[in-house]
Amino acid sequence: MDHCERCSFHYDQLEINEVSEELRSLGTAYRSRLEAGVHDAEHARLLRRRPMPQVWSALEYSCHFRDVLLAQRERLHLALVEDTPRFWSIYRDERVVLARYSDDSLEEVSREVDLAASLAARAFARLDDAQWQRRCVHGYPAPAQRTVAWLGRHTVHEGRHHLLDVDDAIRAARSGG
The whole-angstrom separation of Cα 102 and Cα 59 is 7
Residue 9 falls inside a structural domain: no
CB 97 within 8 A of CB 142: no
pLDDT (0 to 100) of residue 53: 92
pLDDT in tens, 86-129: 999 999 999 999 999 999 999 999 999 999 999 999 999 999 99
Residue 11 falls inside a structural domain: no
Burial string for 34-59 (b: 16+ CB within 10 Å, else e) reads bbbbeeeeebbebbbbbbeeeebbbb
pLDDT (0 to 100) of residue 177: 58
pLDDT (0 to 100) of residue 67: 98
Expressed as residue numbers, the domain containing 150 is 16-172
pLDDT (0 to 100) of residue 20: 98
**Which one-letter DSSP state was computed for residue 86?**
B
Share of residues in the chain with pLDDT > 90 (%)? 86
pLDDT (0 to 100) of residue 141: 80
Considering the chain, what is the average pLDDT of its residues? 95
Domain count, the chain: 1
Whether residue 140 has pLDDT greater than 90:
no
Q: Which of 77-81, 95-99, 138-142 has the lowest mean pLDDT?
A: 138-142
pLDDT in tens, 15-55: 999 999 999 999 999 999 999 888 888 989 999 999 999 99
pLDDT (0 to 100) of residue 56: 96
The whole-angstrom separation of Cα 85 and Cα 145 is 9
CB 112 within 8 A of CB 66: yes
Residue 1 falls inside a structural domain: no
CB 116 within 8 A of CB 27: yes
pLDDT band at 148 (very low <50, low <70, confident <90, very high): very high
pLDDT (0 to 100) of residue 25: 98
CB 59 within 8 A of CB 47: yes
Start-to-end CA distance of the chain, whole Å, equals: 31
Residue 157 falls inside a structural domain: yes
CB 87 within 8 A of CB 136: yes
Residue 133 falls inside a structural domain: yes
**Which one-letter DSSP state was computed for residue 143?**
-
Residue 110 falls inside a structural domain: yes
* φ, ψ of residue 4 in degrees (nearest 5): -125, 120
CATH code of the domain containing 132 = 1.20.120.450
Helix (H, G, I), strand (E, B) or coil at 53: coil
CB 29 within 8 A of CB 21: no
Residue 45 falls inside a structural domain: yes
Residue 8 falls inside a structural domain: no
